[in-house]
Amino acid sequence: MQFERLDERDESLKDHPKAIILHGFTPAQIKAVVSAYRADRSLPQNAAFAVATEQSVKRPLGDVLDDMLQDAADARKRKRRKRKLP
């Protein structure tokens, strides 16, 4: 994964992958955070969410982000396939 400084005025960034990692929240708080985020249409809706685990906090951040973004892409594909089913 390559990191770069992003310019918020750059319109091409709307499709740039986004990731939000939560740590130390209860399941109810996680649900509230994700719901509030998704309800705010001024925020990018292509963000991938993850909850930090004992294992993930020991891994390099780039590896965690790669896995998150791949999981999110796979979930979007499954969702699209589901919509196409009769």
- Domain spans of the chain, in order of start: 16-84
Check residue 16 and give its pLDDT.
Answer: 77
Buried b (16+ CB within 10 A) or exposed e, 63-85: ebbeebbeebeeeeeeeeeeeee
| Global pTM value | 0.74
| Of 16, 21, 44, 15, nearest in space to 33 by CA | 21
- Mean pLDDT in the chain? 87
Query: Which tens digits make up the pLDDT trace of 18-55?
Result: 899 999 999 999 999 999 999 999 888 889 999 999 99
Identify residue 75 by its one-letter amino acid code: A
